[in-house]
Amino acid sequence: MALPRSLAPPLPTETPARMVADNAPGPHAGRGHPAVGIVRLGVLLAVFAAGYAHPDIRPLLLGALTDAWLQVGVFVAATFVVVFLFERRASVDGVGLLVRHPRYEVPIAAALGALPGCGGAVVVVTRYAAGQTSFGALVAVLTSTMGDAAFLVLARRPDVGLLLIGLGFVVGTVFGYLVDAIHGRDFLRGKGGDPSHEAPPPAPVPPVLWWLWGLILVPSLVVGALGLFEVAVPDGLALALGLAGALLSLALWALSPSQAATLARDTLRLPLVERVARNTNYVTIWVVVGFLAYELATGLGGLDVKSAFSTVQGLLPLMGVLVGFLPGCGPQIVVSTLYLSGAIPFSAQLANAISNDGDALFPAIAAAPRAALIATVYTAIPALIMGYGCYLLLE
């Protein structure tokens, strides 16, 4: 049976629940030592200089940076703005719901995990570490979360993004209840403690850089939207905005604390522009990696990526699950980039979306490594069922 048109990847051309600050991880988690940021920035500059100096790589590098910003980054940022504004206006205490309604903690955890980004999932993980939720709730949230890859898919294919979020919530809820029914609600329950109150605040980035980023975003979003409607834009303007936005995003990412450290802070108190930029930059750098790897493989290596993946099509859902085991959102963003470019089918994206734990796996490993490992392995079961079910029935 053919895959429905609405789920077919496009051609290659192409938390909203408020986590109350008092219950969220503390503001002193994560260190952003200036020396680390300078080293990361130096490495990025060296890689850029090396690629720019090579005449064959230069156009691919500039194209990857420009496309990553104008075709993806600006729309991801716009999605973050909508989600964060809604989050600030909402008054739902997700943590309080978990504590006050233990009978419904599994669907509540799945709902928090299904929110775009990793914030909701991190909150559930820290509550599990404090002994306030069951192991089934932990499995539910790790199953339902897509991490920051959700923003990428929502920005490019909102219909597919919403479908993945809905499936994640349903699968997470069902499987979470199943795990609690098998093991009991006290299986591997956390003993208390919170891994997020230890390190000092991260080194600050000059506020003017965040505002500069926001100023570049506005015209870039206009140019990106015009590109979607195939309205001609001067090449020089698109290149200038694309490079300025991408390079500033990468520089701010290098100078900022790690994404895991950012998640551990009370980011609700950050200015909206800074909060949007921090999260967008993390997505952007991985989109650049995915775009550049794709261009180098096809442009220099002569590789037909789609044909190469088609030779192992039956293994792609399994590969999506295995990539989902990797902690962090970066590898998952690369998988979504491949799906959106048409290189891999929906079944692989679906399997990865259910299997991956995003950045929520970092605090889980720190607080309860055994439970984190078992929960991660458990998420592979529904991921394989859904991925191969889609592959066998729809593709």
Q: What is the pLDDT of residue 223?
A: 94
Is it the case that residue 306 has pLDDT exceeding 50? Answer: yes
Q: What is the pLDDT of residue 69?
A: 94
Compute the chain's Rg from CA coordinates.
20
Q: Is the alpha carbon torsion for 370, 373, 377, 379 positive or negative?
A: positive
Residue 12 falls inside a structural domain: no
- Look at the block and give the residue holding tokens 């995915």: 290
Is it the case that residue 1 has pLDDT exceeding 60? Answer: no
Question: Is 206 exposed, middle or buried, given 0-12, 13-18 or 19+ CB atoms closer than 10 A?
Answer: exposed
Would you say 393 and 359 are in contact if contact means Cβ atoms under 8 Å apart? no
147 forms bridges with which residues in the sheet? 117
| Range from 89-98, 125-134, 137-146, 327-336 carrying the lowest mean pLDDT | 89-98
- Alpha helix stretches (DSSP H) within the chain: 34-53, 58-67, 74-89, 94-100, 105-114, 119-129, 135-144, 149-156, 158-183, 207-228, 235-255, 259-264, 272-295, 305-310, 316-324, 330-340, 346-355, 361-367, 369-394
| Range from 26-40, 243-257, 335-349 carrying the lowest mean pLDDT | 26-40
Would you say 360 and 121 are in contact if contact means Cβ atoms under 8 Å apart? yes
Q: What is the mean pLDDT of residues 150-155?
A: 90
Domain total in the chain? 1
- How confident is residue 347, by pLDDT bands cut at 50, 70 and 90? very high
Residue 6 falls inside a structural domain: no
Report which DSSP code applies to 101. -
Taking alpha carbons only, the member of 331, 338, 318 closest to residue 383 is 318
Q: What is the pLDDT of residue 168?
A: 97
Q: Which residue has the higher pLDDT, 240 or 43?
A: 240
Q: Which domain holds residue 348?
A: 26-193+201-394
For residue 134, the SS3 value is coil
Residue 17 falls inside a structural domain: no
Q: Torsion over CA of 41, 77, 67 and 113, rounded to 10 degrees?
A: 90
Q: What is the mean pLDDT of residues 339-359?
A: 93
Residue 13 falls inside a structural domain: no
- At residue 352's C-alpha, the angle toward residues 379 and 142, to 5°, is 35
Residue 5 falls inside a structural domain: no
pTM greater than 0.85 = no
Q: What is the pLDDT of residue 12?
A: 42
Q: What is the pLDDT of residue 128?
A: 85
Q: What is the mean pLDDT of residues 360-375?
A: 81
Taking alpha carbons only, the member of 173, 248, 175 closest to residue 215 is 248
Report which DSSP code applies to 343. S
How many CB atoms sit inside 10 A of residue 88's CB? 13
Q: What is the pLDDT of residue 92?
A: 56
Q: Which two tokens stand for residue 56?
A: 């064959």
Q: What is the pLDDT of residue 86?
A: 75
Q: Which two tokens stand for residue 83?
A: 């989600």
Q: Is the alpha carbon torsion for 199, 88, 361, 110 positive or negative?
A: positive
Residue 175 falls inside a structural domain: yes
Is it the case that residue 117 has pLDDT exceeding 60? Answer: yes
Is it the case that residue 196 has pLDDT exceeding 60? Answer: no
The overall average pLDDT reported for the chain is: 82
Is it the case that residue 9 has pLDDT exceeding 70? Answer: no
Residue 119 falls inside a structural domain: yes
Residue 295 falls inside a structural domain: yes
- pLDDT tens string 76-95: 898 888 878 876 776 555 66
Helix axes 58-67, 34-53, angle to 10 degrees: 130
